[in-house]
């Protein structure tokens, strides 16, 4: 069978290569006359004299009879007349179990300059989401080791959650806690548009050796071209899809989907798309569901995904936050006011939700979580009166109970970064402390 496949591949190999020529460079895009290619196809731009250098680029559009290309690196030394070689295929990356523990760039190449291990296979970076009818329903919780999430916003295997927060409210710290404590078989972490300084800080300080041991990290820093940041998100998702197809439970974390959207806006504006809401182009809102729907369950395994969303000025209704919230299966809102009080993780239980929780937990667990949120809501509504001393005990039985339980609620939600809490322990404590009537 293998020989037959090999003969078939050899038969289908093109006996010639297609070339075009660069005519001009405009901003982020390169125009060439030819070759005959299609959208998303990988090309090489050949530059310099001997020894010649090949620059990878992708076909992003067409204008009249010209091909619009966008390079994965800078456009230095590309000149009119440079040859453009077609590859007849999209970008593929090397994946396999040997990739676990490695840190790669948006093209799947190791960042430390070492060779990738042997035994990896090629896998396309852009794939279609699973057929909706072939997706198994989410029926089993995934322990994340974070008490507030496991008890109040239980996440199922294959669920997709958003982490919404402004800058400096603890997104990276929460992601590192999930990576270290989660019961997933493999973690895939995509750092998209991050500051270069923060990459090593996250890997060595937040993630640590324990977390990296079962993690693949994909990095596309903010100084890299927009296309590279797009490919970083696609590559990380493809790696997670590969492990899912092996029957594993994968946790995919992407920080952040906002910077993915900003990179796609750059590309859209460069090829002539009209700006719409807050300058975002229509392709941004077309690509978001294509990316986010690729995670989740399929007939082999699951990808439980966490996508961080940067909200400008803590505005939850800005365009990207609004679009992502409508696609995902729930969201965790990190509140700056709570972070300023020293409450970490700074999850706001009254603004967060898991849309799958009611299907995967028992009624006792659900009622206890609802009761905690009810107590917190009552306290929050009366907080101003309580703080200025205007509320008199005995006026309301519900407010009295909320005041009494408030310190326990805060203590329950708070968790240090090095504290690991099992799912069963988190649920037991929730039911023990906050079951109604106990």
DSSP classification of residue 313: G
For residue 63, the Cα-to-chain-centroid distance in whole angstroms is 32
Q: Residue 43 pairs with which residues in a beta bridge?
A: 57, 86
CA distances from 336 to 307, 415, 416 (A): 18, 17, 17
For residue 62, the Cα-to-chain-centroid distance in whole angstroms is 30
* CA distance linking residue 362 with residue 364, whole number of Å: 6
For residue 86, the Cα-to-chain-centroid distance in whole angstroms is 31
Q: Where in the chain is the domain with CATH 2.40.10.170?
A: 14-90
Tell me the two tokens of residue 284. Answer: 């941004």
Residue among 144, 67, 11 at smallest CA distance from 423: 144
- Is 389 exposed, middle or buried, given 0-12, 13-18 or 19+ CB atoms closer than 10 A? exposed
Q: Where in the chain is the domain with CATH 1.20.1270.330?
A: 364-434
Report the sign of the C-alpha dihedral through residues 122, 128, 133, 139, in that order: positive
* CA distance linking residue 405 with residue 325, whole number of Å: 31
The reply to whether CATH 3.40.50.12240 applies to domain 93-357 is yes
DSSP strands (E only) in 27-64 = 29-33, 42-47, 53-63
Question: Which top CATH class is 364-434?
Answer: mainly alpha
Fold of domain 14-90: Thrombin, subunit H (2.40.10)
- The values of phi and psi at residue 221, to 5°, are -75, 170
Determine what percent of the chain is predicted with pLDDT higher than 90.
67
Place of tokens 């408030």: 406
3-state SS, residue 100: coil
- The values of phi and psi at residue 2, to 5°, are -65, -40
Question: Cβ(263)–Cβ(221) under 8 Å?
Answer: no
List, as one string, the DSSP characters of 126-182: --PPPPGGGSPPP-SB---S-HHHHHHSPPBTT-EEEEEE-TTSSHHHHHHHHHHH-
CA angle, 346 then 351 then 356, to 5°:
105
* Digitized pLDDT (tens) for each residue of the chain, 438 residues in all: 466 666 666 566 665 788 999 999 888 889 999 899 999 999 999 987 767 788 999 999 898 889 999 998 877 778 888 999 999 899 999 999 999 999 999 999 998 777 888 889 999 999 999 999 999 999 999 999 999 999 999 999 999 999 999 888 888 889 989 999 999 999 999 999 988 888 988 888 888 888 899 999 999 999 999 999 999 999 999 999 999 999 999 999 999 899 999 999 999 998 889 998 888 999 999 999 999 999 999 999 999 999 999 987 666 778 999 999 999 999 999 998 999 888 999 999 999 999 999 999 999 999 999 999 999 999 999 988 888 888 888 888 999 999 999 999 999 999 998 898 999 999 999 999 998 754
CB atoms within 10 A of CB 337: 11
Predicted pLDDT at 12: 60
Predicted pLDDT at 329: 95
* CA distance linking residue 326 with residue 342, whole number of Å: 30
CA distances from 114 to 197, 354, 379 (A): 21, 41, 55
Residue among 235, 240, 188 at smallest CA distance from 211: 188
DSSP classification of residue 347: B
Question: Cβ(336)–Cβ(166) under 8 Å?
Answer: yes
Question: Cβ(70)–Cβ(45) under 8 Å?
Answer: no
Residue 287, C-beta contacts closer than 8 angstroms, at least 6 positions apart:
261, 264
Predicted pLDDT at 438: 47
């Amino acid at each position: 069978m293998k020989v037959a496949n090999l003969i078939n591949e050899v038969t289908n190999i093109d006996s010639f290569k297609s070339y075009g020529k660069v005519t001009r460079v405009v901003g982020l895009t390169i125009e060439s006359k030819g070759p005959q290619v299609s959208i998303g196809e990988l090309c090489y731009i050949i530059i310099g004299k001997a020894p010649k250098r090949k620059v990878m680029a992708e076909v992003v559009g067409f204008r009249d009879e010209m091909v619009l290309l966008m390079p994965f690196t800078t456009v230095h030394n590309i000149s009119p007349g440079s040859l453009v070689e077609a590859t007849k295929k999209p970008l593929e990356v090397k994946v396999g179990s040997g990739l676990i523990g490695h840190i790669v760039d948006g093209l799947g190449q190791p960042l430390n300059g070492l060779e990738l291990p042997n035994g990896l296979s090629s896998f396309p970076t852009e794939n279609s989401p699973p057929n909706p009818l072939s997706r198994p329903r989410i029926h089993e919780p995934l322990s994340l080791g974070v008490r507030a999430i496991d008890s109040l916003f239980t996440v199922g295997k294959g669920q997709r959650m958003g982490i919404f927060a402004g800058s400096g409210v603890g997104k990276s710290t929460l992601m590192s806690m999930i990576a270290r404590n989660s019961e997933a078989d493999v973690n895939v972490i995509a750092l998209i548009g991050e500051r270069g300084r923060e990459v090593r800080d996250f890997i060595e300080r937040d993630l640590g050796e324990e977390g990296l041991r079962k993690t693949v990290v994909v990095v596309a820093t903010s100084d890299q071209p927009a296309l590279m940041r797009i490919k970083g998100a696609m590559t990380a998702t493809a790696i997670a899809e590969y492990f899912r197809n092996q029957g594993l439970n994968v946790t995919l974390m992407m920080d952040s989907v906002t910077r993915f959207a900003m990179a796609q806006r750059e590309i859209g504006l460069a090829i002539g798309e009209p700006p719409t809401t807050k300058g975002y182009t229509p392709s941004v809102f077309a690509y978001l569901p294509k990316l986010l729907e690729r995670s989740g369950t399929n007939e082999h395994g699951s990808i439980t995904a966490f996508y961080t969303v940067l909200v400008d000025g803590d505005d939850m209704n800005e365009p990207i936050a609004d679009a992502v919230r409508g696609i995902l299966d729930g969201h965790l809102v990190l509140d700056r006011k709570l972070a300023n009080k020293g409450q970490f993780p700074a999850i706001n239980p009254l603004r967060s939700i898991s849309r799958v929780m009611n299907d995967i937990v028992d009624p006792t667990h659900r009622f206890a979580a609802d009761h905690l949120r009810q107590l917190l809501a009552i306290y929050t509504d009366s907080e101003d009166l309580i703080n200025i001393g205007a509320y008199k005990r005995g006026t309301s039985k519900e407010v009295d109970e909320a005041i009494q339980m408030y310190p326990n609620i805060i203590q329950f939600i708070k968790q240090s970064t090095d504290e690991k809490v099992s799912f069963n322990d988190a649920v037991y404590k929730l039911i023990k402390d906050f079951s109604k009537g106990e």
